């Protein structure tokens, strides 16, 4: 399993941003991306509040407003599978079912090995090749159940911490 990011690393990242609040969302993006657990932890929010001279509630308000930020730890590979009208018409519901039946992946849950989490996402702008999904920063289109097997197997066998 992955570990929480260190206080030093949080401070180091925040140090790159001037302390005006228009930099908050930029900093949150970088913090979440750097966090091995792929989310905005209470400690990150606390340190952001101090750095940007905001209340903890204001930071929490921003973090929970934007769907790209998560206040719960996520998998090493976070899957955003599109459920919007086009992808849903082109079969993304079958893919959701398949991910649950074969891999036990449910929206907003992390797999036991900490590798995968799943999110029902809105339109990802890949409608010409629907259904589509993103895993972290990578885009996958024209999904079929075979393709899902191939992609997940590939990620599972990837070395690294």
Partner 1 sequence: MILNDPKIALARAGKINPASIEEFINTGGFESVKKALKMNRGDLLDYAEKSGLKGRGGAGFPTGMKQRFTSSSCQTCENRYVVCNADEGEPGTYKDRFIMESDPFLLIEGMILAAYSINANYAYVYLRGEYYQSIDNIKNAIKLSYENGFLGQNILNSGYNLDMDIYLGGGSYLCGEELTLLESLEGKRGYPRIKPPFPAEKGLWEFPTLVNNVETFSHLPFIVNNGFETYSQTGTAESKGTKIFCVSGNVQKPGIYEFPFGITLRELIFDIAGGMKSDFSFKGALLGGAAGTFVNETLLDTPLAYETLKKEGATLGSGAVIVIDDKTDLKKMLSSILSFFKHESCGKCVPCRIGTTILYDKISSTDFTADDLKFMLAEAEYMAKNSLCPLGQSPVLPVKSFLKWFVL
Give the interface with partner 1 as residue ranges (CB under 8 A). Answer: 20-26, 28-29, 52, 61-62, 65-69, 80, 83-86, 88-90, 122-130, 134, 137
Distance CA(69)–CA(94), nearest Å, equals 26
Q: How far is the CB of 61 from partner 1 (least distance, A)?
A: 5
Residue nearer to partner 1 on the CB measure, 76 or 80: 80
Q: How far is the CB of 94 from partner 1 (least distance, A)?
A: 13
Residue nearer to partner 1 on the CB measure, 72 or 129: 129
Distance CA(131)–CA(82), nearest Å, equals 7
For residue 84 the two structure tokens come to: 């919007």
Where does residue 104 fall: left (phi above 0), alpha (psi -120 to 50 degrees), or beta otherwise? left
Residue nearer to partner 1 on the CB measure, 115 or 123: 123
Query: Would you say 54 and 61 are in contact if contact means Cβ atoms under 8 Å apart?
Result: no
Q: How far is the CB of 84 from partner 1 (least distance, A)?
A: 4
């Amino acid at each position: 399993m992955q570990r929480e990011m260190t206080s030093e690393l949080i401070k180091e990242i925040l140090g790159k941003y001037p302390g005006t609040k228009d930099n908050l969302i930029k900093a949150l993006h970088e913090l979440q991306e750097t966090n091995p657990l792929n989310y905005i932890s209470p400690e990150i929010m606390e340190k952001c509040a101090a750095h940007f001279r905001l209340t903890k509630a204001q930071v929490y308000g921003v973090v929970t407003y934007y769907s790209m930020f998560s206040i719960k730890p996520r998998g090493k590979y976070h899957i955003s599978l599109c459920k919007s009208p086009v992808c849903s018409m082109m079969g993304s519901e079958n893919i959701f079912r398949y991910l649950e039946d074969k891999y036990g992946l449910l929206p907003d849950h992390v797999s036991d090995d900490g590798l995968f989490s799943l999110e029902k996402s809105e339109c990802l702008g890949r409608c010409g090749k629907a259904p589509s999904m993103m895993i972290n920063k990578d885009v996958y289109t024209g999904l079929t159940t075979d393709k899902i097997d191939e992609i997940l197997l590939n990620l599972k066998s990837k070395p690294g911490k």
